[in-house]
Every structure is written in C-alpha cells, then in structure tokens.
Amino acid sequence: MKCIPVVILTTSNAEEDLIETYKMNANCYITKPVDLDQFINVVKSIENFWLSIVKLPTR
C-alpha cells in the first residue's frame, strides 16, 4: 500500500493543514481552484503526472 500515491485535493489554504498532510506521508497537497475549467485542468495535470510521467513500482 505504500506504493500508492496519495494526492490531497482540498479547498484549504491553511498552513497547519499542509504541514499535517505531509506529516501523514501524503505525496502532494493541492488547493483546488473554484473555477470549473481550472479545476478540470488541475485534475488532468494530476492524472498526467501520476499516470504518465512518474515511474511507480509494479508491486
């Protein structure tokens, strides 16, 4: 299970949330935009990064 990327997608900009997220070993923290088009671009970027660019172990 440690090989599964954990992406936090949140509305919070609070520094303490960011710190706690990384303390719990999340791989990234993203504040989602309110605008729908920007949100879709963010989700596509996450997908592209984790599924196309990053090399993950097969097991």
**42-45 long-range Cβ contacts below 8 angstroms, 24+ apart:** 42/9, 43/9
The pLDDT value given to residue 8: 96
The pLDDT value given to residue 4: 86
Question: Which of 38, 34, 36 has the alpha carbon at shortest distance from 10?
Answer: 34
The pLDDT value given to residue 56: 83
The residue whose two tokens read 């504040």 is 31
Which residues, listed in sequence order, are joined to residue 9 by a DSSP beta bridge?
A: 30
| Pairwise pLDDT comparison (56 vs 19), residue with the higher score | 19
pTM of the predicted model over 0.85:
no
> What digits encode the pLDDT tens for the residues 3-43?
888 999 999 999 999 999 999 999 999 999 999 999 999 99
| DSSP label of 33 | P
